């Protein structure tokens, strides 16, 4: 089912999202991947604040290619989420409500999704040129030295994603395969 939602994605909104829904997101989201997650968690361990407003936030696991002059951003598709599995439960417990990436998640992340009424979306892997068109603004907010891995705040418009794991822990990667599996 096609749904249109605006950020912030709150627990009220994740209530309505079911595994398998096709969702178009509009609003502000953060971008962070491996090195940025590592730094954010290290900051927390030192007792420092996070550089992003984590409550009801959406984090997109992505590292864009460089923008040409006049472009908002370069190619901007999702990276593999499992590399963020070590860090995601900590951020979810602090208030992160939605993650966008691609690929499987660990049982610990799925537990944290259920515990926090969060949601895991997949964007289409390898569709970086298409997805860049839905990004209307982009600014680096910290860790600029990480290059493509810097933390960004972006404005998206009708950014297409699919609900893979909903707040009840239903997992589309497991259910959808069964339907077409004859091996």
Partner 1 sequence: MRKVHTQEITKNIKEMCIEANYYLSKDMDYAMKQAFETEKSEIGRKILNQLQDNLKIADEEKIPICQDTGMAVIFMEIGQQVFFEGDFLEDAIQEGVRQGYREGFLRKSVVKDPIQRENTKDNTPAVIHYSIVTGDKVKITVAPKGFGSENMSRVFMLKPADGVEGVKNAILTAVKDAGPNACPPMVVGVGIGGTFEKCAILAKKALTRQVNEHSHIPYVRELEEELLKKINGLGIGPGGLGGTTTALAVNINTFATHIAGLPVAVNICCHVNRHVVREI
Binding partner 1 (rule: CB under 8 A), the pick from 66, 111, 136, 144 is 66
Binding partner 1 (rule: CB under 8 A), the pick from 8, 27, 51, 74 is 74
Residues within window 93-132 making contact with partner 1, judged by CB under 8 A = 102-104, 122, 124-132
- 27 torsion bin: left (phi>0), alpha (psi -120 to 50), beta (else): left
Binding partner 1 (rule: CB under 8 A), the pick from 64, 89, 97, 142 is 64
| 17 binds partner 1 per the rule CB under 8 A | no
110-132 burial by CB neighbour count: b if 16+ within 10 A, else e? bebbbebbbbbbbbeeeebeebb
| 68 binds partner 1 per the rule CB under 8 A | yes
Specify whether the CB–CB gap between 45 and 94 falls below 8 A: no
Whole-number Cα distances in Å, 48 to 1, 52, 85, 174: 41, 12, 21, 38
Q: Which residues contribute to the site for partner 1 (CB under 8 A)?
A: 20, 22, 35, 62-68, 71, 74-77, 79-80, 82, 102-104, 122, 124-133, 146-148, 160, 162, 164, 172-173, 175-183
């Amino acid at each position: 089912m096609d749904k249109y939602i605006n950020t912030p994605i709150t627990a009220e909104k994740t209530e309505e999202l079911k595994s398998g829904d096709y969702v178009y997101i509009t609003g502000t989201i953060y971008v962070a991947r491996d090195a940025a997650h590592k730094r954010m968690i290290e900051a927390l361990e030192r007792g420092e604040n996070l550089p992003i407003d984590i409550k009801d936030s959406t984090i997109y696991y992505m590292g864009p290619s460089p923008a040409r002059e006049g472009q908002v951003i370069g190619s901007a598709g999702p990276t593999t989420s499992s590399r963020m599995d070590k860090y995601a439960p900590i951020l979810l417990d602090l208030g992160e409500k939605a993650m966008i990436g691609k690929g499987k998640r660990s049982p610990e992340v799925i537990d944290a999704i259920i515990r926090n009424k969060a949601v895991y979306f997949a964007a289409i892997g390898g569709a970086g040129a298409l997805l860049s068109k839905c990004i209307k603004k982009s600014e680096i907010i910290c860790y600029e030295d990480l290059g493509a891995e810097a933390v960004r705040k972006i404005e998206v418009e009708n950014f297409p994603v699919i609900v893979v794991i909903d707040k009840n822990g239903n997992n589309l990667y497991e259910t959808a395969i069964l339907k077409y599996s004859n091996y």
